[in-house]
Structure 1
Amino acid sequence: MNTSLYSFFLLTLFSSTMITLSSNHWLLAWIGLELNTLAMIPLIASPHHPRATEATTKYFMVQTTASAVILLAGAITAWQTGQWGLSQPGSATKTLLISALLLKLGIAPAHFWYPEILQGTTMTTALIISTWQKMAPLALLYMTLDTLPTNLLLMLGLTSIIVGSWVGLNQTQLRKLMAYSSIGHMGWLLMALAMNPKLATLTFIIYLLMTTTMFIMLINTMTKTTMDMGTIWPHSPTQASLIMLTLLSLGGLPPLTGFSPKWLIIKDLTLNHLAPLATLTALMSLPALYFYVRLAYFTTLTTPPITQSTTFLWRLKHTTNLMLTPITMLTMFMTPLTATLYLTT
């Protein structure tokens, strides 16, 4: 894609998200979501491959359906209450609103489109879908949180964690695996949202850091499958080590950053007399930890036979990503700042 066009679509993507984030009106929020979808479609279709075209069609159908349901919910609310305010959805529109936002976020049980679309596009576009595209629907979820049933959010969160953990076990394609990882993390986010919105903000920030770090390193090393992970070491020993630590952080292994939100969410569930749910949540996240550890094993401990021509390949690569160093440090070593971040978010 032409650089100018690419920049234009990215600017539209940013602007449309800002419209939704700053709006307190159903119609403005809907306009922001629609502009967001229209800007995302050319980015998904840019590889000009049949699989990319299929992913674009699926993304368009899913997102427009969800946006139409949100507009319908807003119209019903305006008809019932006489106002278009986001913070006061009508009683009849809560189910419509939750269904539409679940579909937009790719949270189970409305997650089936998400792995397929990530698999059909490039790693860079998959990064945008997995991070930036979550912001606008989550903002609407935050704004309407007071009227949403807590028990429903907790059950949806647990469902998402189960789906993300168990279905991710079978994946060999890294984009699909990252999609199920995102589904599982969104489940943790829903649980945090039901308990404590401040904790949900911290959880989302840490999710953004970990997912962005992982995708950038996958883009740099050009790995697409689990078998490719074993070939990273000859090309970049440093990035192979960083990928291993990032995967363990995604799995929530202490003392890495990914442990902090899970620890705080389980603590809040226990304090709210939901110890059985906290225990079940922790147990259901173990399969996800298994596939992260398995990937880390492929990356650092399972390497193909190294010949003389591949031994020093890492010396030939001089391109560096300036963004990678700070976000990698935050992905791994932010746990000591947990208390400060928890109290200030």
Structure 2
Amino acid sequence: MLTTTPMTTTGIFLGTATTISTNHWLMAWIGLETNMLAILMVIAKPKTTRATEATTKYFLMQAIASIMILFSSTTNAWQMGTWDITQLYNKYSSTIMAVALATKLGAAPIHFWLPEVMQGSSLMTALLLSTWQKIAPMTLMYMAAKNMQPVILTTIGLMSMLIGGLGGINQTQLRKTMAYSSINNTGWTLLIMPISPNIAMLNMFIYMNTTIPTFLIMMKSSTKTLRDLTGMWTTSPIFPHMMALLMLSTSGLPPLTGFIPKLMILNELLQQKMVTMATIAALMSLLSLVFYLRITYLSMMLTPPTTSSASMKWRHTNYQPALTSCLIPTALTTLLIAPAIPL
């Protein structure tokens, strides 16, 4: 488990809170920088070569994206006379801003840094990178979505879905697999962002709701590779089953919770007469389903307890983290409330 200093924790939360609560591009940029400087110390904490490499890559990519955000907002203020986030009227500024925020989110084609950074980080840091660190840039994208070019966002979304699905198929490291899963989900979010920003934010929230317990189970069972999945039952007999169901929920299979946003996205695309786009999105979801099913098979259906000679730790100590127990039901069984979601 990762331990951070109070100053680091304050910087992470304060930076994100500043960005999502302001309506001024300069304050939003300051919040992003505060958050970035705090998370850099968290990534570099293990003092290993991989951690140093991950910290350097993360700093360079986030710094480039921050420069693009500052340049885009300054150009828009120069041309339009406003720093308001919701008034990004200059089309060149909006294009640069879309690419910059996509870089912050780890979306394709500037996605290559995310799997390497997550692989070089601890499991808790990887959890922060795939969930909390997406809140601030996604909020900025939500606020400025009406002024961004729909073609650019949908193109980035489709590319992210394709690369996220193909990239995760051949991975044996779970952190890299979850990184490509994050890229794939970001693609779904950006695909629907210019059409219905509310559904895009719902998709991000539900993805975070399924990713957090997945990483918590991996941390509690010390699972980092596909090979480790076959021995997860020795930590707790329920972990393999919950891991499998969480993966199926993340993939978007009914009747699990992850089916809600994908159904809403496809329905909205069909209502907008974008049948071809909806068909492509549905077909691309099959790519990510391949590695989700692979994890499901390895964790739950490959090796029953009687085939392993490992010591059965679960008979002596039962690891049932409270947060995981609270999040798993909402990550699996909230499909019935979908008609009541106000959008």
Name the TM-score, length of structure 2 as normaliser. 0.96
Is the 1:213–1:327 Cα contact (8 Å) retained in structure 2?
yes
Percent identity, aligned pairs only, is: 41
Is the 1:231–1:304 Cα contact (8 Å) retained in structure 2?
no
Mean alpha-carbon deviation: is it higher for 331-340 or for 231-240? 231-240
Deviations 1:78-136 (A, max 9, x none): 21122211112222212211111111000011100000000000000000010000011
Q: Look up the match of 1:332.
A: 332
1:248-263 pair list within 5 angstroms: 248-263=248-263
Q: Look up the match of 1:38.
A: 37
The one-letter code matched in structure 2 to 1:174 is L
Give the C-alpha shift of residue 42 in structure 1.
Answer: 0.6
Q: Which whole-Å CA distance do the structure 2 matches of 1:331 and 1:304 have between them? A: 25
Query: How many corresponding residue pairs?
Result: 342
Q: Look up the match of 1:24.
A: 23
Q: Which whole-Å CA distance do the structure 2 matches of 1:219 and 1:282 have between them? A: 32
The one-letter code matched in structure 2 to 1:269 is L
The one-letter code matched in structure 2 to 1:336 is L
Q: Look up the match of 1:293.
A: 293
Q: Which whole-Å CA distance do the structure 1 matches of 2:312 and 2:24 have between them? A: 58
Give the C-alpha shift of residue 309 in structure 1.
Answer: 6.2
The one-letter code matched in structure 1 to 2:176 is K
The one-letter code matched in structure 2 to 1:318 is N
Q: Look up the match of 1:245.
A: 245
Q: Look up the match of 2:180.
A: 180
Deviations 1:241-272 (A, max 9, x none): 10010011011111000111111111111111
Give the C-alpha shift of residue 191 in structure 1.
Answer: 1.8
Answer yes or no: is 1:11 the counterpart of 2:10: yes
Mean alpha-carbon deviation: is it higher for 129-138 or for 68-77? 68-77
Any gaps of 5 or more consecutive residues in structure 2?
A: none
Q: Look up the match of 1:70.
A: 69
Measured at CA, do residues 271 and 73 of structure 1 come closer, stay the same or move farther in structure 2, by a change above 3 Å?
same
Q: Which whole-Å CA distance do the structure 1 matches of 2:122 and 2:2 have between them? A: 16
Give the C-alpha shift of residue 305 in structure 1.
Answer: 7.5
Is the 2:248–2:292 Cα contact (8 Å) retained in structure 1?
yes
Is the 2:236–2:319 Cα contact (8 Å) retained in structure 1?
no
Q: Which whole-Å CA distance do the structure 2 matches of 1:42 and 1:304 have between them? A: 41
Q: Look up the match of 1:92.
A: 92
Q: Which whole-Å CA distance do the structure 2 matches of 1:305 and 1:88 have between them? A: 59
Provide the secondary structure at the position in 2 that maps to 1:236.
Answer: coil
Give the C-alpha shift of residue 332 in structure 1.
Answer: 0.4
Provide the secondary structure at the position in 2 that maps to 1:172.
Answer: coil
Measured at CA, do residues 296 and 230 of structure 1 come closer, stay the same or move farther in structure 2, by a change above 3 Å?
same
Deviations 1:125-150 (A, max 9, x none): 00001000001111111111111122
The one-letter code matched in structure 1 to 2:214 is M
Give the C-alpha shift of residue 167 in structure 1.
Answer: 1.2
Measured at CA, do residues 315 and 76 of structure 1 come closer, stay the same or move farther in structure 2, by a change above 3 Å?
same
Is the 1:233–1:303 Cα contact (8 Å) retained in structure 2?
no
Any gaps of 5 or more consecutive residues in structure 1?
A: none
Mean alpha-carbon deviation: is it higher for 243-252 or for 86-95? 86-95
1:271-310 pair list within 5 angstroms: 271-303=271-303, 306=306, 310=310
The one-letter code matched in structure 2 to 1:121 is S
The one-letter code matched in structure 2 to 1:338 is A
Provide the secondary structure at the position in 1 that maps to 2:82.
Answer: coil
Is the 1:192–1:203 Cα contact (8 Å) retained in structure 2?
no
Measured at CA, do residues 80 and 220 of structure 1 come closer, stay the same or move farther in structure 2, by a change above 3 Å?
same
Q: Which whole-Å CA distance do the structure 1 matches of 2:338 and 2:311 have between them? A: 40
The one-letter code matched in structure 2 to 1:87 is T
The one-letter code matched in structure 2 to 1:57 is T
Give the C-alpha shift of residue 311 in structure 1.
Answer: 5.7
The one-letter code matched in structure 2 to 1:55 is A
Is the 2:189–2:200 Cα contact (8 Å) retained in structure 1?
yes
Name the TM-score, length of structure 1 as normaliser. 0.95
Q: Which whole-Å CA distance do the structure 1 matches of 2:16 and 2:135 have between them? A: 7
Q: Which whole-Å CA distance do the structure 2 matches of 1:124 and 1:108 have between them? A: 24
The one-letter code matched in structure 1 to 2:285 is S
The one-letter code matched in structure 2 to 1:8 is M
